[in-house]
Amino acid sequence: MRIGGILAVGAISEQAARLSTPTGGEPVTVRNIALPHTSFLRPEKTVNGVLYYQFEVIVIAGRTVMDHLEEVT
């Protein structure tokens, strides 16, 4: 899989398996989730001097964490 057409990563399930899973009611922390991302300027979308940036984020986590995920902001 390629992120933003540049970064190649293995299968998402393989990446998620590397992360720890909270147990016994533990809160989700940065040890349990990965957010590979990219952002770039889109000059072809710039209108009247207003710059347009594109942001792409992929959420990687185990099923237990993903089942509780409601929103990424």
DSSP 8-class letter at 47: B
60 Cα distance to chain centroid: 6
Angle, CA of 12, 14 and 18, to the nearest 5° = 110
Render pLDDT for 48-73 as a digit per residue (tens, 0 to 9). Answer: 989 999 999 889 999 888 888 888 87
Q: Give the pTM.
A: 0.66
Render pLDDT for 12-52 as a digit per residue (tens, 0 to 9). Answer: 778 888 899 988 888 888 899 998 889 999 999 888 989 99
